[in-house]
Amino acid sequence: MTLDIAAWKQAGNLISDEDVDDNADIESSKIATRTLQIFLPARAGRATGTTGATNNGVFGGVIMPNSASSSIHWAMRIPAEYDSGDVTFKICLVRAGAGAGNIKFTLNIKSASVGDSLASGASGTATSAAPPTAAIKEMSVVMTAANFTAGEIVFVKLFRDPADAADTLAEDLIALGVSVEFTGRG
Amino acid sequence: MTITNSSSARRAGFKFNNKAFKKGADIAASKIGTRTLTSVIAPNDFVLSGAGVAMAVDGIFSSITLPDANAANLYATAKIPMEYAGGFVTLDIYWKTTAVNVANNIKFTVAMASKAGGESTALNDTQSVTQAPAAVSNQLRKASIVFSGIVFTAGDFVGIHILRDPADAADTLATDAKLIQCVLKFTGRA
């Protein structure tokens, strides 16, 4: 009598039939996180004090003048893909001039659910040297994770006050928009 | 009695080793299959230039009037989403006419630039497309342009300049047109 044994060992963790469902969906919670973004075009916002929309050859934006303060307002939602962590608001701009000086922006945000007060929120500032003529500049304001919950409405206000002592660039700016970057799954 | 190991007996299928398999690990975004994703550019995202080029309301739609009397220039800024996985990017232009039984073609010329923060806003590429309107008035049309000559990167700023010039010999559409929406279409993982 001869007994053949297939003595072949599979290294690693064994997967049993109970572990595997060929037809099961992959839970979104099992997708690794990465940086995602939502872009708020300046033109799509509600502007006050700005002196019109303009283009920089190919790119469209809104003029935030040197003559007076101006602001742009948006409303967006924190998407379901938001996982956790701080949210970075990247202010994107170009300019037509070539002078030296610093730019200062103030960013105000309020994230709210139904029933929440809209009376107060968080704010941050960004100050940086002006970019070369016709080069895209990004200036970041980081808002802490405590301000955000997936699904909430977020009100965003971008403000420039040329009279602020820290804003020394004596030129109009062209705001292209705000890029909202967050850690998410999806 | 003889007991032998039959080394020739193999189990078909994949063999896992400890390095390859970690039960409970997150699935990297790079392992998600690619598919076509879209990014919408609404009419109010555009900066408008030209006489008679203005936002309009069509029933429940908002639109931009592209007059037959003179050139219309539209400028927008968008971003290449982080889900972008490489390859060409297509711009779909959704448009219509309100006139009935209109013949001939409209021509859209689109200049596009895809730039990272710090780069200049210089133009990358210009393409054009001509298309006849729908046979029925107010019926939506889609004109598509594939930008194969631009190197796009996830997170890039995209500048889009759309021109309708009725004086162009290829634009024979003798009526106003309405731009309803634009869509950037790309291959991505999400």
- H/E stretch holding B159: strand B157-164
Apex A103 CA angle, A101 and A107, nearest 5: 170
Percent residues over pLDDT 70 in chain A: 88
* CB contact (8 A) between residue B117 and residue A136: yes
Confidence of residue B163 (pLDDT cuts 50, 70, 90): very high
Average pLDDT over residues B84-109: 92
| Residue A74 buriedness (CB in 10 A; 0-12 / 13-18 / 19+) | buried
- What residue of B is the nearest CA neighbor of A96? B121
On whether any CB of chain B is under 8 Å from the CB of A12, the answer is yes
Give the closest residue to A174 by CA, choosing from A59, A89, A87, A19: A59
Nearest CA distance, B79 vs chain A (angstrom): 7
Residue A185, sorted as left (phi over 0), alpha (psi -120 to 50) or beta, turns out to be: beta
Q: Say what the ipTM of the complex is.
A: 0.82
pLDDT number for residue A1: 65
Q: Number of A:B CB contacts under 8 A?
A: 159
Nearest to B160 among A26, A58, A186 (CB): A58
Q: Which residue shows structure tokens 């049309």? A: B141
The whole-number average pLDDT for the span A10-36 is: 68
Mutate to test the interface with B, among A19, A25, A136, A185 (most CBs of B within 10 A): A136
Average pLDDT over residues A169-186: 95
Can you give B58-80 as a three-state secondary structure string? ECCEEEEEECCCCCEEEEEEEEC
Given A13, A31, A43, which is nearest B21 (Cβ)? A13
Tell me the C-alpha distance between B46 and B77, whole Å.
8
Per DSSP, A146 falls in state G
Assess B14–A contact: CB distance below 8 Å, yes or no: no
Using a CB–CB cutoff of 8 Å, tell me whether B182 touches chain A: no
Q: What is the DSSP letter of B29?
A: G
pLDDT at position A20, please?
59
pLDDT band at B3 (very low <50, low <70, confident <90, very high): low
- Each residue's pLDDT tens digit, B16-46: 444 555 666 678 888 888 899 999 999 999 9
What's residue A147's pLDDT?
92
Average pLDDT, chain A: 89
pLDDT at B7 over 60: no
Q: Which of chain A's residues have a Cβ under 8 Å away from the Cβ of B44?
A: 43-44
3-class state of residue B57 by DSSP: strand
Which of B78, B120, B93 is closest to A134 using CA atoms? B120
Question: What residue type is A144 in one-letter code?
Answer: T
Residues 6+ apart with CB under 8 A from B83: A36, B37, B154, B188, B189, B190
Across the range A133-148, mean pLDDT stands at 95
Q: Mean pLDDT, to the nearest integer, of B144-160?
A: 95
Instruction: Give the mean model confidence (pLDDT) for residues A7-13.
Output: 48
Query: Does the pLDDT of residue A129 top 60, yes or no?
Result: yes
Q: Compute the distance between CA of residue A110 and CA of residue A90 in angstroms, rounded to an integer.
A: 16
pLDDT in tens, A70-121: 999 999 999 999 999 999 999 999 998 999 999 999 999 999 988 888 877 9
The pLDDT-based confidence of B12 (bands split at 50, 70, 90) is very low
